[in-house]
């Protein structure tokens, strides 16, 4: 995401978003890696939170 910010000239906006959502971003990264290589289950609330964050990321990128 930082590279997207640099490429679009919106580095500070992306950095702020990342700081505000660092916990959720880490959860998304862990879920991606874990789900690919290790059979795992997630609670419904976890998945809903990750989905909301993924939508926010998509909206942010679409605005760039």
What pLDDT, on a 0 to 100 scale, did the predictor assign at position 35?
85
**Quick one: three-class SS letters along 24-64?**
HHHHHHHHHHHHHHCCCCCCHHHHHHHHHHHHHHHHHHHHC
| CA distances, 11 to each of 14, 17, 23, 39 (Å) | 5, 10, 19, 36
What pLDDT, on a 0 to 100 scale, did the predictor assign at position 64?
83
CB of 22 closer than 8 Å to CB of 32: no
- Residue 61: φ, ψ to 5°: -65, -40
Work out the mean pLDDT of the chain and round it to a whole number: 92
What pLDDT, on a 0 to 100 scale, did the predictor assign at position 10?
92
pLDDT value at 36 more than 90: no
């Amino acid at each position: 995401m930082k590279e997207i910010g640099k490429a679009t000239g919106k580095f500070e906006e992306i950095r702020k978003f990342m700081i505000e959502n660092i916990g959720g971003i880490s959860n998304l990264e862990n879920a991606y890696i874990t789900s690919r290589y290790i059979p795992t289950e997630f609670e419904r609330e976890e998945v809903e939170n990750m989905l909301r964050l993924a939508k926010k990321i998509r909206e942010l990128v679409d605005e760039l």
